[in-house]
Amino acid sequence: MGITHPHVHQINVSDGGVPKLPVPEARITVQGVAGDRQRSVQYHGGVDRAVCLYSLEAIGTLQAEGHAVAPGSCGENLTLAGLKWARLKPGDRLRIGTDVRLAVMSYTAPCKHNARWFVDGDFMRISQKKHPGWSRLYARVLAEGVVRPGDEVMVEEGDGAGP
């Protein structure tokens, strides 16, 4: 039987750009995921955008709609499974594994570099403004540590006022 509790499905990094590719583990620091780099630091990265998160279930639904997305292809560092994704919001905090703590800071604006994965290039399909609940999320690192696939994820809901 598979893992049923909310957990890390995949950890993804790249030397800039998408897709980000899976790694067996990664150190999460206040600066981001070790071994990962962003193509444009104007729009990605920094302490309030240190880690990009996305939902395995959202990816599965997008695939069922005919989009060629896969874990890591939209640029997320952590593909998470088993969460009520549409309910996550800025201000929520996540505990990942034994050490890592994240604060959800913002919804992630869709990037034109993701157009290749979407039917008719419609990368706005993952826009929070156009399709609430389908956006990736940016998080700030509150506590550093190493994450691995299978690590449990626990949500501590915030009041929406920020971390």
pLDDT tens digits, one per residue of 38-86: 655 555 567 899 999 999 999 999 999 999 999 999 999 999 999 999 9
In a domain, 113, yes or no: yes
> Which amino acid does the sequence have at 142?
L
pLDDT surpassing 80 at residue 116: yes
Q: Would 1 be classed as within a structural domain?
A: no
pLDDT tier, 106 (very low <50, low <70, confident <90, very high otherwise): very high
* pTM summary value: 0.92
Q: Is residue 15, in this structure, part of any structural domain at all?
A: yes
Asked whether residue 55 is domain-assigned, the answer is yes
Residue 1 pLDDT exceeds 70? no
| Domain extent at residue 57 | 7-156
Tell me the pLDDT tens digit for each residue of 133-158.
999 999 999 999 999 999 999 998 77
Conformation bin of residue 31: beta by default, left when phi > 0, alpha when psi is -120 to 50: alpha
